[in-house]
Structure 1
């Protein structure tokens, strides 16, 4: 009996293996996609979508092509892009020859031959054997259709200006990525001029990106102050044309230009006289909030700066743009310390930001403990990093916060302490300087104490109960207001169905149904009266 069971198990396993082999044989083999062919196909498809969008006046299709530019940018090659420029841009386009020269000047990168070549079929052992069917002559031979890469070699110039500007933009991206900065500046400047001269509303998205990469190429190659007047003129034109895309990008570029040269007063005037378009993407809004927060922080408006920087962190993409989030987080930490708050420990434990935020963690620890010596050590050891982050001026303002924290701790610990001891504990220059610092702290209400000039000591008064003041209620009010603002923002961000004018209210529906019932009753009574003898 056991042998029979074993035999049946073996046969079942053999049948299962046979079925699996048959399934694997029946499955078609997936051919690897040639990256060159895929890139050429994507460019041809985007060109077709742009032409269709321009003829149908569908700006939605143009926006979809521009959103796909980032994915296409990572796969661009000189060979394919040169073919696309030669294929679609006519000879009458004045910038065609400079574009091709700039592309040909890019040094070629060693590509992976296995990935770039088209797969060839290798002869199997079975195919090497003579076959009777192979000996027969074939009646007809089907010619394979040309690939997208081969079709780019056939000139088919387009008369749509948006197509020419799109390919011009791809060339600018290619030059920036390959660090050909002089050619990138020249080609991007030519693109900006050609798009501005066309004056077409379908060019708005391309126009905004053209100005962005023009400013980026100039910034990478040298100073960006010379293009400030050009950006201001372009912003005025975009505002008059109600071009929200270019308006948002140019406003951010101007703020970046002012902040780069520490022209915070001019940036503040620009912010006070302009408004950011509400219909733009979160990326542009996050940049605007970030620059606004930096300007407000320098202008000593710390509460407004903190709100803008926190909103910039929330609006920024959480999957990309790590450098932007790190920079915004650094300014949030400094502004929080300037407002008297201590950032939570979780901020410094983020996996991707631990190394970048380590100096700011040390600054936070020094401010929280009121340790002036540690504050000076961190400021000296990380001076280069603070200069690169452009946070040195704000961190120097924290010196007063460190002194205030140290004085508050000394006042709560000692009812009476000499001024020389205060100078020693806070690592100040001289007892006279310490006396001035203590007097200013008493005047500002940081500590409740009295200076005895004859005895040379500071006497602290009795501490009052905090809960007898309005501080707890004020703190609760700010937190509740913050939660209510978040709730209101989420409600505004939700999508609600549009109200139809023809849709009737519940009361009107009840009245209509009631009238129909009464009408039906009257008709029934009239019918009964007709049948009465």
Structure 2
């Protein structure tokens, strides 16, 4: 039997075994994986814990969590009492009866302690008990200060996510910033990549939700984001960076960041919401830069329904018709405000007018300002004269204005290949392809050496390889 076939058989056997286990037994398996991670100093076991926790998350009960806590915590441990006290209001049976039947552990690993805190956070979050979650998070922050191990990095990052999530849902985004900034400083000093990346994205989100754009920009300028973090966190960071740069009118950099966020977005159902938000922002950035998004973007089955408002706005910009633009704002204004993109769409009014002027300049060699005013539905000839002058100055059209007689005269079209535009576009595409190639090389995992004597160790290594590949495919925003 080949090694690959043995790996497949072992994976299939584990799948059958997991179906027969109860929730408490599955939780015990997770803590066993955490112990392996602590013993072998291999963080990939932690990633497997997160992957296996996702399907059983909806089945978690307070009784299962208390049973697990009773089995892994020593009786004298200081964290055991408040963990059980937090869960007791949700139990169906008496916790003391459970503790009498379960054998307790004599020692507790830091990894197991923080995983138990994370499980309680997830349970309270799913139960929508935000006030109790907020109170429990204060104890989680105190527990985080007790340990400093690199095998805890992924768990610590998740704990900080739920700490911030509770504050966000309670609309208390200011008070948590001090703790997040302290966590960022500590993670930077400890070279904790995951926690540093997670806290940076959480602080940026806090600034964006409160419209503190200058503070968000200062944070980006003064911190270095670790590119080695997981794809889901990197995708969030680039999305927030794209939004900051869009608000500050740096559309070219924002477009690159939005494309990176979409490319690094996990290809799972749980990430569809993030994919929709990133695509909406990217469409607006393209329109603000004068480009028209491809029609295939709006025909994606996953995105088609949510992109209807942006399709209407794109149609108005492409046709240069202010009436269509105004109707789109009236019809889809509430959806655009819900997406926090309404102010960005309002910026497109000038683009609609410029597109209309460009179409007119291509259609007419000579046209009066009065006719331009009628075609573009402007307020008056003076307004039309100002807008046409601005379009000529910005290089939107090649034309001149006769102010005395009141008309615009278009110049002969230049051959685009006599300008530097094709060279700039080719350079942009080459840079994108080189960046994609570099990222692919960095993410590549090379086959292990074939000179190994211990076949059992080789088989375990291959199993870990398969687990990591599966995690990368299933990476989500849980």
TM-score, normalising length from structure 2?
0.83
Is residue 67–residue 98 contact of structure 2 (8 Å, CA) maintained in 1? no
Q: Is the 8 A contact 1:66 1:205 kept in 2?
A: no
Partner in structure 1 of residue 209 of structure 2:
260
1:100 maps to 2:92: no
Deviations 1:154-205 (A, max 9, x none): 1404522332221121111001001011111111221121122333444322
User: 2:399 touches 2:411 (CA, 8 Å); kept in 1?
Assistant: yes
Are 2:254 and 1:270 equivalent residues in the alignment? no
Name the CA shift for 1:153/1:370 in 2 (closer, same or farther; >3 Å): farther
Aligned to 1:298: 247
Report what 1:345 is aligned to: 295
Q: 1:285 Cα deviation (Å)? A: 1.1
> Which of the two has higher C-alpha Rg?
1
How far is the alpha carbon of 1:243 from its aligned partner?
Answer: 0.8
Per-residue deviation at 1:473?
A: 3.4
SS of residue paired to 1:459: strand
CA distance in 2, matches of 1:484, 1:62: 33
Write the mapping of 1:235-246 to structure 2, written as runs, cut at 5 A: 235-246=184-195
Instruction: Verify the 8 A CA contact 1:362 1:378 in the aligned structure 2.
Output: yes
> Alpha carbons of 1:338 and 1:47: their partners in 2 closer, same or farther (altered >3 Å)?
same
Runs of at least 5 residues in structure 1 that lack an aligned partner in the other structure: 1-31, 109-148, 500-533
Sort the Cα spacing of 1:403 and 1:155 in 2 relative to 1 into closer, same or farther, 3 A. same
Q: 2:100, 2:275 → 1: CA distance?
A: 41
Corresponding residue SS for 2:214: helix
In the alignment, the residues of structure 2 paired with residue 486 and residue 51 of structure 1 have an alpha-carbon distance, to the nearest angstrom, of 37
1:356 equivalent in alignment to 2:340: no
1:51-93 per-position Cα deviation (integer Å, ceiling 9, x unaligned)? 3443454444344324433233232122211222233334444
- The verdict on how the C-alpha distance between 1:314 and 1:71 changes in structure 2, with shifts beyond 3 A counting, is same
1:154 aligned to 2:102?
yes
Flag the 1:485–1:246 CA change in 2: closer, same or farther, 3 A. closer
Which of 410, 418, 421 is the matching residue for 1:471? Answer: 421
Aligned residues: 429
Which among 120, 128, 153 is matched to residue 171 of structure 1? 120
**C-alpha separation between the residues in 2 aligned to 1:335 and 1:50?**
44
Partners in 1 of 2:42 and 2:293 — Cα distance?
Answer: 48
Q: Residue in 1 aligned with 2:161? A: 212
2:33 alignment partner in structure 1: 49
Cα distance in 2, alignment partners of residues 239 and 353 from structure 1: 38
1:61 and 2:11 are equivalent in the alignment: no
Residue equivalent to 1:366: 316
Question: Taking CA–CA contacts closer than 8 Å with sequence separation of 6 or more, which of the two structures ends up with the larger relative contact order?
Answer: 2
- What is the SS of the residue equivalent to 2:347? helix
Q: Which residue of 2 aligns with 1:231?
A: 180
Q: 1:456 aligns to what?
A: 406
CA distance in 2, matches of 1:437, 1:58: 63
Query: In structure 2, the residue corresponding to 1:269 is in which secondary structure?
Result: helix
Task: Give the match for residue 118 of structure 1.
Answer: none
Matched, 1:75 2:23: no
**Aligned twin of 2:372:** 422
Change (3 A) 1:335 1:89: same
Q: Pick one of 386, 396, 418 that aligns with 2:336.
A: 386
When the two structures are superposed, what TM-score results if normalisation uses the length of structure 1? 0.75
1:33 Cα deviation (Å)?
A: 8.8
* 2:382 corresponding residue in structure 1: 432
In the other structure, the counterpart of 1:325 is 275
Could you tell me whether the CA contact under 8 Å between 1:83 and 1:152 is conserved in 2? no
Aligned equivalent of 2:362, options 394, 412, 418: 412
